[in-house]
Amino acid sequence: MKDRFSSHHGVLIVNKPPGPSSHDMVYRLRSLLGIQKIGHAGTLDPFASGVLVMGVGQGTKILEYLQHQKKTYRMVLRLGLITDTYDCNGQVVEEREVRFCPEAIREAASAFVGGYAQVPPVYSAKKVQGQRLYDLARKGKIIRMPPKNVEIDRIDVLSIQGADVTLEVVAGEGTYMRSLAMDIGYRLGTGATALSLVRLKSGAFTIEGALELWEQSSKELLIQSLLPIETALSDFKRIYLSEADVLKVRNGNQVYAFFPTTGPAGMYSDLSFEKDELLLACEQTGKPVAVLRAEVNGSFAASLANRSLNRRIATLVKVFGVM
């Protein structure tokens, strides 16, 4: 595939519909833009919809930072219904009528706030020896993964209609909402299945600002909707480099003590960073140059520069090409 728009880089916030997989959305965007280098942060199951963060061109280099962010979901689960995939696309294993008072359901859901050791579903995108669990499961090779600690900040019970319970959940990276649905059901002694799932928010990106990705979507609109890398990494502290230092970094040199330069509209480098913090090194125009990891804190870096001590203050993590 020829990258006709390969000069375009950034992050696209897409509203994935139910049906296609997250990788199907990657193929769709590659076809629409004619760009091969496209990826996504934070997998959404085929039955799920909502915010899918996609990287284009050099925007793929920052996806690992975006997928670590907290996510907000709205999920409808049905108590008493158990499927092999823990969602509505699976084969029904058991179904029975259940009755619970609302308070019992709220107590069961709240028990998972703060986090717990969660077992991933046997049908998932996790890999074992290079193969996806769902591919192995479809071949009859069921592999039980060890539990993994997940963080859950909040679970709100929005409504209860018979056996159907609507939740809003704020969770950390790697939390399987299908497993959470089943675990809430198990706590009530019935099991449960996720009927629908919408990701409302991923980090700072919300469903209200997400783009619908149709087969007839305009290439121009998609390109106009790309968020620049520096915007997508808005929570990274910036240091602005001189033209000479920009060239050194792009040639693979580490970052040594420097006199902070100004960025766009007279903005100064943010020297409030701590040791080991990830930083965004930028040109004086604000364009990203590299992601760095600080080896010292910002005040010590400034003192080194003031004393003209040529000591390394940060190491390169990722370097961006000229954009």
The token duo for 200 is 């409302």
Q: Which of 3, 45, 164, 270 is catalytic?
A: 45
- Residue 61 — left, alpha, or beta (φ > 0 → left; ψ -120 to 50 → alpha)? alpha
Strand pairing class (81-83; 71-79): unpaired
Show the CA angle centred on residue 184, arms to residues 183 and 188, nearest 5°.
Answer: 110
Q: In 3D, which of 181, 158, 207 has the Cα closest to residue 17?
A: 207
* DSSP letter (8 states) at residue 51: E
- Can you tell me the distance from the alpha carbon of 292 to that of 152, in angstroms, rounded to the nearest whole number? 29
Strand pairing class (237-240; 116-118): unpaired
What are the start-end ranges of the E strands in 137-227?
Answer: 148-150, 152-161, 164-171, 192-202, 205-206, 211-212
Q: In 3D, which of 293, 304, 299 has the Cα closest to residue 270?
A: 299
Q: Identify whether 24 is a catalytic site residue.
A: no
Positive or negative torsion for Cα 192, 97, 158, 17: positive
Other C-beta atoms lying within 10 Å of the C-beta of residue 164:
15
Q: In 3D, which of 159, 39, 62, 170 has the Cα closest to residue 102?
A: 159
- Can you tell me the distance from the alpha carbon of 167 to that of 99, in angstroms, rounded to the nearest whole number? 18
Q: Which positions are annotated as active-site residues?
A: 45
